Amino acid sequence: MLRSSNPILSKQDAFTPAANQYNQPYQPYPGQPPVTAPNDRMTFDDVVTKTAVTMGILAIAAALAWMLVPNGLYLPALVLSGLVGFVVVLVVSFRRNISPGLVLLYAAVEGIFIGMISKVFEAQYDGIVVQAVIGTFAAAGVTLAAYKFFNIRVTAKFQKVVIISTIAFAGLMLVNFFFSLATGSPGLRGGIVGPVSPLAMLISAFAIVLAVLNLVLDFDYIERGVAMGAPARESWRGAFGLTVTMVWLYIELLRLLSYLRR
C-alpha cells in the first residue's frame, strides 16, 4: 500500500496496478474495480504540467495580492487566506476523489497568502523574496536530480522517520502558535524583525531539511504511482502535494533568510 508523509498524497486507494511484471493486462479480483485504460493513466508529464498550472496560478494570485490589497485590509486578508488555504488542504486530504477545482482554489487562495506575507518580509529585507524563490526552486531541482541520478530508494524506516518528524514538528509549531497568541510574544520562531535566537535559526534549518525530505517521499510516491498505472486524475493529487510542500519550503526559506540578514 502506497503512503507518503505528505497528507495530500496519502490516499490508500489512489493507485491501482494496471499491468503485471510480464507486461500482460492486469486481471482484477472479483469485485475489484476495473483498471484504467492505458491512455487514462497517470504520467510524469501530466504531473509536471498540472504542477506548473497550480504554481502559475499561485504566482499570479501572489502578484495581484501584493499590488492590489490595501493596507487597511492587509492583516484580515492575510489571516483569512491562511485559514481558508488550511481548510482546503484538509478537505482535499479527506476526499476520496481528487477535485481539480479545489486544487486550483487552493493555489489561488494560498497565492494571496504568499503574496502578502512576502510583501511584509520584502519591506524589511530588500531582495529577500527573490532569494527565497530562487532558493526554493533550486532546492527542489537539486532534490529531484539527486533522487533521479543517484537512484535514491525510499525505505520503510526512512519513510517512518520523516513521517514522525513531520507530525512532531507540526505539533510543536501548533503549540508555539497558541503560545504566541496567548502571550503576545513571538515564541520559538521569533518575529519578522528584532533579535533572533540560535534556537529559532536551528528550527528553521530543521524545517527546511524536513521539507526537502518530504519532497523525496513525494517524488518516490508519484514514481511508483506512474509505474502502477494510477488513474490520470491522480496527477492532480501529485501536483497538489508538490505545491503544498513547495509552499512550506518557500516560507521556511523566507524566514531563515530573514534571520541571516539581521
pTM comes to: 0.82
The parent domain of residue 52 ranges over 7-19+39-261
Number of domains comprising the chain: 1
pLDDT of residue 6: 57
Contact 152, 146 (CB under 8 A): yes
pLDDT at 10: 55
pLDDT value, residue 3: 44
Least Cα distance to 98 among 223, 238, 225, 208 occurs for 238
What's the pLDDT score for residue 252? 94
Assess if residue 100 is contained within a domain.
yes
196-241 pLDDT, tens digit each: 888 989 999 999 999 999 999 889 889 888 888 888 888 998 899 8
Identify whether 75 is part of a domain.
yes
In a domain, residue 34? The reply is no
Low-confidence residues of the chain, pLDDT below 70? 1-39
Please give the full DSSP string across 7-62, using - where no structure is assigned: GGG--TTS----B-TTSPBP-PPTTSPPPPPGGGB--HHHHHHHHHHHHHHHHHHH
Residue 162: enclosing H or E segment and its boundaries? helix 156-183
Torsion sign, CA atoms 56, 15, 145, 201: positive
Q: Is residue 2 in some structural domain? A: no
List pLDDT tens digits, range 111-131: 999 999 999 899 899 999 999
